Structure 1
Amino acid sequence: MYRYGNVVTDKPANRAILASQRRRLEHESKLKAQRSRQEKKEQDGRGTRNNQSKSTFRSILPIILFLPLLSHFLTKSYTFGLSPYFLPPLRNYWNEFPLNPYKIQLRTFTPQELVLYDGSRDDRPVYLAIDGVVFDVSANRRIYGKGGSYNMMAGRDASRAFTTGCFETHLTHDTRGLNEAEQASLQHWKSFFMNHEKYHKIGYVLNPPLTDQDPIPEPCRVAEPDAGKDAGQHAPGEQAAKKGKHRPGPVQ
């Protein structure tokens, strides 16, 4: 045995030192063996997990490939017809995600700037606003563009008309005095444009503030022709509602 570079002989006086050295060497050997076994066990575990992951992926891969084909066979859509429900929200989230290198730079419009996109010029997109949010509806220029049946909604925030259907006197952002159902209708239309697969949120409009001196728009009621005095009354947008809309308002 060696100690500090010197040979330690097996003399009775040195046996305690030799025993201590043997115990230390045995202990180090055991620790080294334990580490080796632990490392081997971890490697085996990683290999097993990798094999399990590969096996699981190989098992579900045919299902992943088969589902779109089944969807197309049943619904003529590769997503079981669910694209309009989950793709637009994902698109909206990604368009505004801070880490998206192609993130849409949302604009801020004044009413005077927004009116420039009322569909009167073919070389400009068509914008409309609801509840202060501006959407590009150029994909449906036939409806919102020049000569379209709802062109009066373009180039402005006509939130009140969306919920009341009064397309002459309620083309304003003033939503004061709307009841709970009408407020819900407004949110319905806002969600409709927000999640539409062809329309896109592009910014906000800075509507002028309203004061107590500004009168709340009068209710819009139009009596049905040739009806008695007790006949029901309705807003002009009710025909749109009868076509399946949640509330009176512009068609798609």
Structure 2
Amino acid sequence: MAIPTSKATSKVKIVYDSDEDTSEDVSTTFTICDILRMIAGLGLIWCAMSKFFAGRWLYTPFHSSAAKAFGEGPQIPSHWAGRELPLPFTLNQLSQYTGKGDEPLPILLSVKGHVFDVTKGESFYGKWGAYRKFAGTDCSNLLGYSMWDMSALGKKCSHDLTGLNGKEMERVDSWYKYFSKKYPEIGYLVEE
């Protein structure tokens, strides 16, 4: 019985030579469609691995390392253009920058008194973000808790770090380093 073949499928030809012991001659033919499927599959695998390891769908290996090599930090957004940075903020002023108001104000948060513009992370810190509690305030005391410590959820945000032990201060310092690498620092907290 003959099996119909089309041009879009691979052809595999196995030839058995009866004069020799079990030697096989295998020939494979790939069409353009097969090659495009393989490239698309590799692209999908690359995107999935990028999302898993780098946190974004399309990781370009030399893009971020080139910026770090030339000492570029996070770029200051255009809505701060024309202002002399760093800007002083009181906690009351900072509370206006949560991304929840009617006006499209930037989203700010403070770590250890350093104010960062986290607007590009709106999906995390904006109106519907999982970390919206941190927007418009300084929650440095909560950053000292382990991420698995659920008791921190019921605690109040504060910039006061006096009650933290050494390990908790290390966590706060590591969060400060994280924010300073990822988001532009545009100001600092001042007492009211």
What is the TM-score when the length of structure 2 is the normalising length? Answer: 0.56
Give 2:189's match in structure 1, choosing from 202, 205, 218: 205
> Are 1:134 and 2:118 an aligned pair?
no
Give 1:168's match in structure 2, choosing from 154, 168, 171: 154
CA distance in 1, matches of 2:100, 2:73: 29
Larger Rg: 1
State whether residues 67 and 73 of structure 2, in contact with CA within 8 Å, keep that contact through their aligned partners in structure 1.
no
State whether residues 73 and 184 of structure 2, in contact with CA within 8 Å, keep that contact through their aligned partners in structure 1.
no
Match of 1:189 in 2: 175
- Name the CA shift for 1:207/1:181 in 2 (closer, same or farther; >3 Å): farther
> Are 1:151 and 2:132 an aligned pair?
yes
State whether residues 194 and 201 of structure 1, in contact with CA within 8 Å, keep that contact through their aligned partners in structure 2.
yes
Q: Structure 2: which 5+ residue stretches go unaligned?
A: 1-58, 77-81
> Percent same amino acid among aligned pairs?
27
CA distance in 2, matches of 1:160, 1:84: 32
Match of 1:106 in 2: 86
Match of 2:95 in 1: 115
CA distance in 2, matches of 1:84, 1:171: 34
State whether residues 117 and 185 of structure 2, in contact with CA within 8 Å, keep that contact through their aligned partners in structure 1.
yes
CA distance in 2, matches of 1:147, 1:194: 23
Q: What is the CA distance between 1:86 and its match in structure 2?
A: 4.5
CA distance in 2, matches of 1:116, 1:139: 17
Q: What residue identity is the alignment partner of 1:186?
A: V
* Higher RCO (CA < 8 A, seq sep 6+): 2
Q: How does 1:9-158 map to 2 (within 5 A)?
A: 76-78=60-62, 82-83=65-66, 85-86=68-69, 90-91=72-73, 105-121=85-101, 123-158=104-139
CA root-mean-square deviation: 2.7
CA distance in 2, matches of 1:194, 1:131: 11
Q: What is the CA distance between 1:127 and its match in structure 2?
A: 0.2
Of Structure 1 and Structure 2, the greater strand share is in 2
State whether residues 104 and 202 of structure 1, in contact with CA within 8 Å, keep that contact through their aligned partners in structure 2.
no
Question: After TM superposition, which residue ranges in structure 1, 4 or more long, deviate above 6 angstroms?
Answer: none
Q: Structure 1: which 5+ residue stretches go unaligned?
A: 1-74, 96-101, 209-252
What is the TM-score when the length of structure 1 is the normalising length? Answer: 0.43
CA distance in 1, matches of 2:134, 2:69: 27
Q: Secondary structure at the match of 1:167?
A: helix
- Name the CA shift for 1:189/1:140 in 2 (closer, same or farther; >3 Å): same
